[in-house]
Amino acid sequence: MSKFYITTTLPYVNADPHIGFALEIVQADVIARWHRRVGDEVFFNTGTDEHGLKIYRGAQGEGMDPKAYADLHAAKFEALKTALNLSYNNFIRTTDPHHVAAAQEFWRRCAEKGDIYKKNYRIKYCVGCELEKTESELEDGRCPLHPHLALEQVDEENYFFRYSRYQDALLELYKNNPQFVVPKNRMLEIVKFTERGLQDFSISRLKSKMPWGVPVPGDDAQVMYVWFDALVNYISALGWPDDLQKFNAFWPGVQVAGKDNLRQQSSMWQAMLLSAGLPPSTQILIHGFITSRGQKMSKSLGNVVSPFEYVEKFGADALRYYLLREIPTLDDGDFTHEQFLARYNADLANGLGNLVQRVSTMIAKYSINVGANGRSPVQSVLRKEIDNCIQRYQLDQALAVIWEKIAACDKRIDNEKPWALAKDTSQHEKLEALLSSLVADLREIGVALLPFLPCTAESILKVVGAEKIVPPAKPLFPRET
């Protein structure tokens, strides 16, 4: 039995859980469940990122203490566990005392290595927005929203991380591990980015301006910049640096992240690990974004989809199915209510649900004794194909394979006409063999679905595994209009 570690990124708690994060964590959940099924001991981590300016300001805006504000919002993310039927075993919050101590220890290691130094940090600041502005945001050297105001130049002394020192080491890492980042085009993107040269980045902020962060060891005037502390969660979650037994058993692991996080996960964090003298991650999976009619979801467009809303109306497995099947695992995908309904009705209600219903009804109606064939161990043909898909992270493909099997069962029923066989007592044996074989197929489908739609899979296995098979009391997926 081998150990397997998988983690999502930590969403920032200043907004409600986004459907895009639901996608990420459901993908990680399928991979984790699959690894458990093949016998691995799995550590599955997720959590929340709670430091930084936006949280600080958000809390101030509501007249709250930052920690209380974070508590309030973190609870919404923890609620995803039940809503989406997730199997993670660790939920880390970057405000956890253990994590704070780990981030400080990590800082010390990088500092000992000579990778942390103080430098003047010059930013442009728009008083109108009360925000820093990067060069790329400016138009003619002025803030596009407040062109009448001159930008202020802010100088503050911050700590910097010697990212530039790790350019060659990172390129070496990528070269030796062509699968380090998947999919391939993301790997290419990060290699090109690294080849262009890396610039040291700032890893602290003046406490007097922004106190909501992990204190920098040995400097009361500064707190860590939120990224530096947040990335360390991937190892502090495993008990680093105190519980080295657990850490060594599970690290390194697989990290799932969105394409907006490519650099932080596959480059900056890897450089930090190298600096601290720790092994780099095993692999970074980069999923895409969910658009709605091809447009980015945004509050101003009013096209934001709430994962909770769909779970409430259609159940966790219906949302899991859509996210896993309709959104290509490592690419962008689209979410619209119409497409959701189409998938739900075609695949779940008419396909899977209806097949379970028609087979179990016939067995009850024709008083069939499911024979040895129907009770035999699950065939491995389908499972092997699905295992291949999952190992290549083609979760959508894996589901497509299962649905081909469902279609084949429907076709077979139509071809062999069990209702006709039932009218002729001399054909009873043939009828029994047919339905037993279909029960075996359903069990195979049920087992294959376990990592993807855990509740539904168990319901199916319960129906077809019963001594006396009867149709489900309620349809698995009632048709919706």
Partner RNA sequence: CGCGGGGUAGAGCAGUAGCAGCUCGCCUGGCUCAUAACCAGGAGGUCGUGGGUGCGAAUCCCACCCCCGCAACCA
Residues 268-307 that bind RNA (CB under 7 A): 289, 294, 296
Instruction: Determine if 120 is a binding residue for RNA (CB under 7 A).
Output: no
Instruction: Determine if 479 is a binding residue for RNA (CB under 7 A).
Output: yes
Q: Minimal distance in Å, beta carbon 377 to RNA?
A: 26
Residues numbered 23-52 forming contacts with RNA, rule: CB under 7 A: 49, 52
Q: Minimal distance in Å, beta carbon 93 to RNA?
A: 14
Instruction: Determine if 211 is a binding residue for RNA (CB under 7 A).
Output: no
Per-residue binding string, RNA, 324-343, x by CB under 7 A, is --x-x--xxxx----x--x-
Q: Minimal distance in Å, beta carbon 83 to RNA?
A: 19
Q: Minimal distance in Å, beta carbon 284 to RNA?
A: 15
Residues numbered 69-108 forming contacts with RNA, rule: CB under 7 A: none
Strand order in the sheet with 131-133: 131-133, 116-126, 152-161, 201-202
Instruction: Determine if 197 is a binding residue for RNA (CB under 7 A).
Output: yes
Residues numbered 381-410 forming contacts with RNA, rule: CB under 7 A: 407, 410
Cβ-based nearer residue to RNA, 85 or 94 = 94
| 43 CB-contact burial (10 Å; exposed 0-12 / middle 13-18 / buried 19+) | buried
Alpha-carbon span 289 to 308, nearest angstrom: 18
Alpha-carbon span 115 to 163, nearest angstrom: 8
Q: Which residue has the tokens 């054909």?
A: 427
Instruction: Determine if 54 is a binding residue for RNA (CB under 7 A).
Output: yes
In the chain the first and final C-alpha atoms are separated, in Å, by: 47
Q: Minimal distance in Å, beta carbon 299 to RNA?
A: 13
Residues numbered 124-153 forming contacts with RNA, rule: CB under 7 A: 132, 134-137
Q: Which of 8, 9, 222, 459 binds RNA (CB under 7 A)?
A: 9
Q: Minimal distance in Å, beta carbon 479 to RNA?
A: 4
Q: Which of 192, 299, 384, 468 binds RNA (CB under 7 A)?
A: 192
Q: Which of 139, 414, 425, 468 binds RNA (CB under 7 A)?
A: 414
Per-residue binding string, RNA, 238-267, x by CB under 7 A, is ---------------------xxx-xx---
Q: Minimal distance in Å, beta carbon 17 to RNA?
A: 11
Residues numbered 169-188 forming contacts with RNA, rule: CB under 7 A: 185, 188
The count of chain residues that interact with RNA, using the rule CB under 7 A, is: 75
Instruction: Determine if 162 is a binding residue for RNA (CB under 7 A).
Output: no
Cβ-based nearer residue to RNA, 179 or 298 = 298
Residues numbered 219-238 forming contacts with RNA, rule: CB under 7 A: 225-227, 230
Q: Which of 17, 253, 280, 418 binds RNA (CB under 7 A)?
A: 418
